Structure 1
Amino acid sequence: MTGPEQDPHTTRDPAEIPEGEPGAGPARRSGLRNPERAVRGLGAGTLSLEALVLLLAIQPIRVVGGDLGGAAIAAVVALAVAAILLAGMMRRPWAWNAGTVLQGLLILAGLLHWSLLVLGIIFALVWAYALHVRRVILG
């Protein structure tokens, strides 16, 4: 182990690695058979989980949080339905932007009840992570 080529701790630019070696070529590979499908699954799973949590949160919010009015319940149900619809449309390129808008709407629903603001912040962070993973995998 005398040169930097033989030292496993040395990082090299992928463009400098000869073709045929692992990590060769200018494009990074994720190792996934179908990275687009994997990323779509991540987005759909995130939105499905969000819809489930929103619907399951209605009763505990009403019991613990106090006055969750009809407008707030309608907003939660509408946001959950929108999340389910978007989860089914993740093949469309605009669905990722619509998912981001959905997170903003959930945060805005925090004006109706403080617990919706908390859920909105949590799911906005989860969605931001999903967008980060999408960018890393697809480039």
Structure 2
Amino acid sequence: MTDPTPGPRGTAHEPSVDPWKGLRGIMAGTLVLEAIVIGLVLTVIARLDDGAHFQPWKVWFVSLLAIAMLVASGLQRKPWAIPMNLTLVALAVAGWAVHWSMGVSGLLFATVWAYILFLRRDLAGRMAGGYLPSQHD
């Protein structure tokens, strides 16, 4: 049996609380917010230019994407959650075909997801190095 690697605050152990749980909550909350914003695109395409953009395929695309984001918010424990989230945000950016405002919203959320991925990498590094306070309880 090997001893755990000593960290900056002494010998580290497994975190007493699950640090990934908080990150999964952030990801789920981001998906809910993104679904709300994407759903509001329906009002944009319905009102602009007297409804000229309100075509059936656009309504279906926006509605299904918003619903998929809400469903995905409950699936953040799955190992394939990150690729699913990135696919959904890529579809939001591709929504530029629906209306440019949807594409801009998708780009804004893409930057949010890039930051979440940075936080995920940072958290993994801190866990590996023994820098989390919950590793020294």
| TM bucket, shorter chain | 0.7 to 0.9
Map of 2:129 onto structure 1: none
Q: Which segments of 5 or more consecutive residues in structure 2 lack a partner in the other structure?
A: 126-137
Q: Structure 1: how far apart are the matches of 2:7 and 2:94? A: 51
Q: Which segments of 5 or more consecutive residues in structure 1 lack a partner in the other structure?
A: 1-14
The 8 Å contact of residues 28 and 74 in structure 2, kept in 1 or not, is answered as yes
Instruction: Please state if 1:113 is matched with 2:113.
Output: no
Residue 61 to residue 20, structure 1, CA distance change in 2 (3 Å)? same
**Structure 2 matches for 1:47-86, cutoff 5 A?**
47-64=31-48, 67-86=53-72
Q: Structure 2: how far apart are the matches of 1:36 and 1:89? A: 14
Question: Secondary structure in 1 aligned to 2:40?
Answer: helix
Larger mean CA deviation between 58-67 and 33-42 belongs to 58-67
The 8 Å contact of residues 68 and 113 in structure 1, kept in 2 or not, is answered as no
Map of 2:114 onto structure 1: 128
Q: Structure 2: how far apart are the matches of 1:35 and 1:71? A: 41
Map of 1:12 onto structure 2: none
Map of 1:90 onto structure 2: 76
Instruction: Please state if 1:33 is matched with 2:17.
Output: yes
1:100 to 65, 80, 86: 86
Map of 2:28 onto structure 1: 44
Cα offset for 1:43?
Answer: 0.8
**1:123 partner amino acid:** F
Higher-helix-fraction structure:
2
The 8 Å contact of residues 61 and 115 in structure 1, kept in 2 or not, is answered as no
**TM-score with structure 1 length normalisation?**
0.72
Cα offset for 1:62?
Answer: 2.7
Larger Rg: 1
Matched-pair identity in %: 34
Task: Give the superposed CA RMSD.
Answer: 2.7
Cα offset for 1:109?
Answer: 1.8
Map of 2:128 onto structure 1: none
Equivalent pairs counted in the alignment come to 119
Question: Secondary structure in 2 aligned to 1:105?
Answer: helix
Q: Structure 1: how far apart are the matches of 2:121 and 2:54? A: 37
